[in-house]
Amino acid sequence: MSVTFSELATDFISHIDFSKLSLAISLGSIAFNPIFWNIVARQEYKNKILTKLAGGNRLYGCYGLAVTIFSLGIIRDLLYERALRDQPSWPLFAKYDLIVKALAVISFAIGNVLVLSSMWALGITGTYLGDYFGILMDNIVTDFPFNVCANPMYYGSTLSFLGTALWFQKPAGIFVTVFVFVMYIIALGFEEPFTAQIYAKREAERAAESQKTK
């Protein structure tokens, strides 16, 4: 007996328990993190708040923000795992257990490769919003993984969420993964134009300085 897509989707959604507080807390943590670092980073760019707190050392200010963002990420991941443990599994995932587990491992592995390799390529300041502190990179990074996708950190993180959801066979995890992706897309809508503005300003200053020396 064939099952329609509508029936499959209904069954999938029925295995998400939206009443669980742990799910709401997980979603709140996921939403909070990019909102937090965007607000704090812009305040740093405009008012140098973190640099002042670090005794006027912008590098230490950036490191402080890096530790904070990294710690919030760990808390977010722990809350996500806790939320999944409170959620029902989907029998259809269990039916194809080996395939689902294989997809989970592949997704998680690719996600972590993208995240870790992008951190390696950018360094601490490049990864953790150093440009908002005035710590700008000399050139745009075009090596792996940036030759694969423009935002490997965000795509990699999304794939890691997906891999975890598949491993635990939880439809709620798929729902959370979509939410993560949407939050990152929204964050990029704020970050990319602002970062481009920062670097455009630097190039304009360099051009003006070059004209003065001629």
For 68, list phi and psi in degrees, rounded to 5: -65, -50
Residue 3 has pLDDT above 80, yes or no: no
Q: Which tokens is 163 given?
A: 């891999």
pLDDT at 1: 52
Contacts of 106 (CB under 8 A, 6+ apart): 163
The whole-chain average pLDDT of the chain stands at 93
111 marked as binding residue: yes
* pLDDT tens digits, one per residue of 179-210: 999 999 999 999 989 988 988 888 887 777 77
Mean pLDDT confidence for 89-108: 97
pLDDT tens digit string along 118-135?
Answer: 999 999 999 999 999 999
pLDDT reported for residue 155: 96
Q: Could you give the C-alpha distances from 204 to 21, 89, 140, 187, 211, in angstroms and in order?
A: 50, 55, 17, 26, 11
Instruction: Break the chain down into helix, strand, coil percent, rounded to 5.
Output: 80, 0, 20
pTM of the model: 0.92
User: Is 191 known to sit in a ligand binding site?
Assistant: yes
Specify the pLDDT at position 209: 77
* 134 annotated ligand binder: no
Q: Please, are residues 162 and 177 in contact by the beta-carbon 8 Å criterion?
A: yes
